[in-house]
Structures are given as structure tokens and as C-alpha cells.
Amino acid sequence: MRVDFPSTSTEFIRQAAAHAVRRSTDGRALWVVGLVAVAAAYAPVIILAPTSAPWGNIPWLLAPFLAVVGWGSAVRRTDQRARLAAWAFASAAAAGLATQVVWAFEMHVLAPPQVPVAAYLFLVPYILLSAGAWLALGSRRGAWGAGLAGDALLVLLAGAVVVLRLVVEPVLGSSDSGFAEIALIAALQTLGLVPLSLACLLVLRRSSAFAPTSSSALLAATMALAGGGMLSLAGLDPQPFTLADPFDYLWVLGWLLLAFSGFVARTAPATAPGILRDRLAYEGLRRMIVPVAALFLAVVVVDVALRPEIRPETVVAVALLGVMLALRTARAVALTDREDERVRQLAYTRALVEVTHSLAEATDLDATLTVICDSARRVLGAGGVGIELITEDGLTLETRATVGLPDDIHGLRFPISESFTGWVVQHGEPRAALDPSADPHVNRQSLWFLGRSTLAAAPIRFRGETTGALYACIRSEPFDPEELALLGAMAEQAAMAIERARLLDQVTVLSVTDPLTGLANRRCLQEGLEREFAAARRGRELVAVIFDLDNFKAYNDTFGHLAGDEALQAFAGVLQAETRAMNLVARYGGDEFVALLSETSAEGARAFIERVRGGFHRDVTALGRGAVEISAGVAIFDPAMKEPEDLIRAADEDMYRQKPRVRV
């Protein structure tokens, strides 16, 4: 390994200096360098002061120095959007440190004037703190707006009232106060309010570039700094321009809080959970602005009543605070109304979504109508809701579903031209009535259940065609335009759901119905046979009858397929007419039909066959093409039968045994 040593002493010194500079870039080395610089700056004060009093000012030097260190380290931890604000806070702490050094030099080395020169330098930290808070507050897009400006003015005006009442008025009332002293006090307190108000907004708004802990500590720091000066200058401090008395420890506290704010400073969270958590905290504090401002104004009024001596400047500030509070209250009310409307719209949207989900589970038309009525009743807070659909003749509306209304009105029909819902159907728009008894469009026959409560209805329209109306009633409050719009939206959903239910019913009917005769098809027969066979095993009587059109092929070949279809339809019509509703008749195939007769004996089945024969002979002869003969077989359930098909097989065998003998 080869080691190159410097050839000259000059080169050695250069390399050593470069190494020292590189080492000094370490953060801890910078702290040490800064502390040494502060000690060097303060050394003349200690050396030249005639007493040991300068040693008592050390806390007022260490506190701002720690603030410089804290925010200096924050510069490296924060991102670009917060870095300028961190630099401003570090500069404010450095300016405060320099001011403390100058102040101590004036107090202990020089003969200070009535108002020390260093007192004017205290304006600089306030300006830099204001700049830092401004940068932190406005670093996000959309941070500044009408609401933010109103909050800032409220804080500033409240602070101005306090300053005028507690500081400026007592100083102006003192005979030994000069213009320079009064001007300085006013400037200090005014500038002290600016970073305080901006720091308040960092906590009260969601636009801070820093995390909540740092923003809250910054607010506490500005409160301590402004409060220390205010208490000292309000007459509580007999020597406001003398350092190291008890009131001045508030300055130490302020700088220490600023240091803590810098040490914990980090960029505000950009993750969704962090943003949501901060947003909830900020909104909770934000709601306190108007109540706190109103309470403060009440305290000011009480103070003025107890101490009537008040200067015009204070009166103007109080008046402006009242005006600003009124404007901010008006905006808060508007925001509350807007929030209520948003919550209401969200509730309506959620209700429509719930209706959609509920309708998706409805399997038939009646269930769909009931779901719509129940949902509309819950959302609108109505005592009763109903749906009326246009009948086939197109002249009347029939009540098809109700919730919360008497059962007697189900199935009632009202002429479209003489009813409230009929007006809605004819005009195609929602309508509301405060008192149904006074509305000329309300049918008098419906007043017995409507009473004098409010009424609203909306048309049910699908693809430009009105099919009915959805109405809500029995409610004490009138329906507002938003609720009418919601009722209309629910009616639109009802229209789509009704159409879907009808299509499902049609599909269901087609899946179990023979398209030519309208009777149940073989699939439906199989399901019914299994159901009735299981009931027969439990003791219920069951008879199966099978029919066959004997000479149907010859009839079909002679007169054509259309004539054959007419004969099949005629037989199906007679079979359906002669069968009880509780029984099942189906087209078994081709020209064969099956009837399942429950609670029927063999004699009853034979009587049923004769009625069918007679009716079919009459109807097929009326077609004018001649008669069609039929055969029939009967099978009674026998517990020995193992499968449902055994019953049909037995009836089929009986029919073929009867064919040669039983003819019409």
C-alpha cells in the first residue's frame, strides 16, 4: 500500500483545512460552531459589564439558539414545499438571538435611552415569523380563500381589540409616555398579532405544510411571545424595557416552544389515513372559531360596560370585529346549510342505492312493487306509499301495491281523468298537494284514507311511456322540491324495475308454458307431478288423466297445420275451462295432454273426462271441418308406485286399453 505525503507544509495545511471543512458539515459540528459564535458575540458584554448581571441573561440567549438549531435541522427533514418556511423560522430565531445580544450590550455596557435601540430590532423576528407562517400556510394549492381570510381577520381584529384596550390605552393615558415609546409598543403588538393569527390558522385549517404537532407548538410559541410582550407593556411590568424580570420568562418559554416546534417539524402526512385524521381534527377546531369570537365579543362588551373610558380607535376595532363576526357567521350558516344539503343528497343517493340493491333481489312484479313502496316510505318519512298502474284499457289506474295504507284500497280503480295520480300520469310530472281535500284533482273516494295530510305523486315512465304513478301520503310536513325530485327518481327506478319484473315474469311463463296452447309444458308438468306425487304419499288423493286426439294426424293432413293448431287450441281451452284452479293441466306432447286432479276420486275423473269430451266436440265442430275423436286414460295413485312417472305410465296404459272401445 502506497501513502502519498504532502510535499510541502503549505499543501499539508490546505489538505487539513479542507478536511476540517468537510467534518464541520456534520450537524453536531454546526451546533458547536453556532454556540461558539454566540459565546464570542456575548463575550464583550460579560467582559465590559461592570457587574455580573449579564450572566443572568443566558436563558434569553440559549432559548432562541435552540430554536435556531431546531428549525435548522428541520430544513433537512422537510420537503421542498416546507423548506422555505423552515428557513424563515430559523432566521426569526437567529434574529431574536441577535436582538437579545444587542439588548444585553445596551443594558449592561452602554447607557441606554428611554427606549433601547434593540427594542426596534424585535420587529424583525415578528416579521420573519409571519413570513414563515405565511409560507407554511400557503404552500398548498387552494390554501387561501374567503374562509381563510375571514378567519385571519377575526383573529387579527380580536388581537387588535386586546392590544388597544390593554396596552395602547393605558400607555396613552400615562403622562410620561413619549411618542417613540407609544409607536414602538403599537408596532410590537401589531406585528406580534400577525404570526399569532397565522399560527392559529395553521391549526384551524387543513393547509399547513407541517404536521399537527409542529403547528400546535408553533401556535403556542407565538402566543407566548406575543403574550409576554403584551403583559409587560400593559402595565403589569414596571420596567418593560429591562431584561430578566419575571415577565420576560414568557419570551424564554416562547423561544423554547419554537425550538420544540422545529425539532418535531416534519412534512404534513400525504397518506390517506393521515390526511383524514388531520382533517377531522382541523374541522373540529374550525367549528370553534365563530363561537369563540362571539364569546370574546361578549367579554369586550362587558369590559366596556365596566370601564366606560374607551378610545375611538378601540371603538372602531370593536365595530369591525362585530361586522367581521357577522360576515363569518353568515358564511358559517351558509356552509352549514351546504353541508346539510350535501348530507341530505348523500342520504338520498344512499337510499337510491339501497332501493337498487333491494330491487335486484325482487323476483316477481308484486315483490318489486312492495320493495319500491317500502323504500319510498322510509326515505320520505311518509305514513303510506302506493303504486297505481294503468289498466289494459288505458282509462283507469289500479292500486297494485301499498305500504302503510289500509288493505281495502288494494285493487281499487280510479279514472285517469278524475284522480290526482291521473293528473300526474297525463302531464308526466310530479305534483304535491298540501291538503288533498282542497285539491280539485284528488278523487273524493280516496279522501277517507288520505285525510288532510300532504300528498305527492310522480309518474312511472319507461322509454317515454307512462305506465303508472308512485304516490306518498300521510305526512305532516309538505313535500319540498328536492323530495319531489327524489320521488321522481324513485319512480324512474320503479319503472325500470317494473319493466324488468314483467320481462322476468314473461320469461318465467314462457319457460313453463306451451306457446301454442297456453297450457303448462312438459317441464312444468314434471315439477307439478313430483310435487303432487309427494303430497299423495302423505295421504292426499291424486288422479292422473291422459288425453289423446285419435284421428288428429288425418285431420291435420286433410285441413292443414293451421287447422290442426286451431283444433289443439280448442281442446286446450276446453281442458283449461273444465279444470279446477288447484289442479294442473299440461300439453304432454304432440296431441297428448295430461291433467293432474288432486282430491278427486275415480268417478270424479270420469265425469271430468265426459265434460271435456262434450265441450271439445262442441267447439271443434263449430270450426266447420268435422269432428276429432279423443281417448282418455285414468290412473289413481297407488302407494306401491315408486316414481311419479309410474302414475303417468299407468294412465297411458289405461288410455291404450280404452282406445278401441271409447270413441266419440
Q: 630 pLDDT exceeds 70?
A: yes
Q: Does residue 349 lie in a domain region?
A: no
**Axis-axis angle for helices 312-361, 481-512 (nearest 10):** 10
Q: State the CB neighbour count (10 A cutoff) for residue 361.
A: 9
- Average confidence (pLDDT) over 135-164: 66
**Higher pLDDT residue, 430 or 321?**
430
Judgement on whether residues 501 and 426 belong to the same structural domain of the protein: yes
pLDDT of the residue at 2 = 44
Among residues 399, 400, 395, which one has the least CA distance to residue 417? 395
Alpha carbon 386 to chain centroid distance?
29
Q: Can you give 483-533 as a three-state secondary structure string? A: HHHHHHHHHHHHHHHHHHHHHHHHHHHHHHECCCCCCECHHHHHHHHHHHH
Q: 18 pLDDT exceeds 60?
A: no
Among residues 503, 441, 449, 467, which one has the least CA distance to residue 388? 467
Q: Which of 189-203, 210-224, 558-572 has the lowest mean pLDDT?
A: 189-203
Q: Does residue 303 lie in a domain region?
A: yes
Where residue 452 sits, what CATH number does that domain have?
Answer: 3.30.450.40
Q: Does residue 461 lie in a domain region?
A: yes
Judgement on whether residues 219 and 274 belong to the same structural domain of the protein: yes
- Average confidence (pLDDT) over 407-423: 88
Judgement on whether residues 15 and 128 belong to the same structural domain of the protein: no
Domain closes at, from 470, 505, 540: 505
pLDDT of the residue at 657 = 86
Q: Does residue 517 lie in a domain region?
A: no
- Average confidence (pLDDT) over 64-84: 83
Continuous H helices in 138-178: 146-163, 169-173
pLDDT class for 121, splitting at 50, 70, 90?
A: confident
- Average confidence (pLDDT) over 445-456: 85
Residue 61 corresponds to which cell in the numbers above? 440567549
Residue 155 corresponds to which cell in the numbers above? 383573529
10 Å CB burial of residue 263 (0-12, 13-18, 19+) is: middle
Judgement on whether residues 455 and 567 belong to the same structural domain of the protein: no
Q: Which of 288-297, 392-401, 469-478, 481-490 has the lowest mean pLDDT?
A: 288-297
Judgement on whether residues 80 and 36 belong to the same structural domain of the protein: no
Judgement on whether residues 37 and 116 belong to the same structural domain of the protein: no
Determine the 3-state secondary structure of 424 from DSSP. helix
Q: Does residue 664 lie in a domain region?
A: no
- Could you give the CA distance from residue 452 to residue 432 in angstroms, rounded to a whole number? 13
- 71: enclosing H helix or E strand: helix 58-77
In DSSP terms, 387 is beta-bridged to 401, 470
Chain mean pLDDT for the chain:
77
Q: Which of 221-225, 362-366, 527-531 has the lowest mean pLDDT?
A: 362-366
Judgement on whether residues 496 and 567 belong to the same structural domain of the protein: no
Share of the chain above pLDDT 90, in %: 13
* Residue 167: DSSP 8-state: I
Q: Does residue 606 lie in a domain region?
A: yes
- Could you give the CA distance from residue 322 to residue 301 in angstroms, rounded to a whole number? 11
Judgement on whether residues 497 and 528 belong to the same structural domain of the protein: no
Q: 138 pLDDT exceeds 70?
A: no
pLDDT of the residue at 480 = 85
Q: Does residue 609 lie in a domain region?
A: yes
**With contact defined as beta carbons under 8 Å apart, do 546 and 593 qualify?**
yes
List Cβ neighbours of 659 (8 Å cut-off, separation of 6 or more): 548, 550, 631
208-220: string of b/e by CB count within 10 Å (b at 16+)?
Answer: bbbbbebbbbbbb
Continuous H helices in 381-480: 420-427, 447-450
* Residue 267: DSSP 8-state: B
Q: What angle do CA 68, 71, 74 make, to 5 degrees?
A: 150
- Average confidence (pLDDT) over 563-591: 89
pLDDT in tens, 167-211: 666 666 655 555 555 555 555 655 666 676 677 667 666 556 777
- 385: enclosing H helix or E strand: strand 384-390
Rg for the chain (alpha carbons), in Å? 47
pLDDT class for 377, splitting at 50, 70, 90?
A: confident
Among residues 470, 300, 486, 476, which one has the least CA distance to residue 402? 470
- Could you give the CA distance from residue 613 to residue 605 in angstroms, rounded to a whole number? 12
Determine the 3-state secondary structure of 371 from DSSP. helix
Share of the chain above pLDDT 70, in %: 73
Q: Can you give 236-265 as a three-state secondary structure string? A: HCCCCCCCCCHHHHHHHHHHHHHHHHHHCC
Judgement on whether residues 466 and 542 belong to the same structural domain of the protein: no
Judgement on whether residues 35 and 75 belong to the same structural domain of the protein: no
Number of domains present in the structure of the chain? 4
In DSSP terms, 460 is beta-bridged to 468
Q: 244 pLDDT exceeds 80?
A: no
**With contact defined as beta carbons under 8 Å apart, do 237 and 250 qualify?**
no
pLDDT of the residue at 143 = 47
Prediction pTM value: 0.47
pLDDT of the residue at 636 = 92
- Average confidence (pLDDT) over 338-365: 69
Domain closes at, from 312, 333, 354: 333
Residue with the three cell numbers 367581521: 324
Count, in order, helices (H) and strands (E) of the chain.
Answer: 23, 10
Where residue 648 sits, what CATH number does that domain have?
Answer: 3.30.70.270
Judgement on whether residues 430 and 570 belong to the same structural domain of the protein: no
Q: What angle do CA 305, 309, 312 make, to 5 degrees?
A: 105
pLDDT in tens, 261-294: 888 887 655 443 444 444 544 555 566 667 777 7
Judgement on whether residues 8 and 82 belong to the same structural domain of the protein: no
pLDDT in tens, 517-537: 889 888 888 888 999 999 988
pLDDT of the residue at 312 = 79
pLDDT of the residue at 190 = 59
- Could you give the CA distance from residue 64 to residue 95 in angstroms, rounded to a whole number? 9
Q: Does residue 516 lie in a domain region?
A: no
Continuous H helices in 362-395: 365-380
**Which residues form the domain of 33?**
1-48
Residue with the three cell numbers 288423466: 545
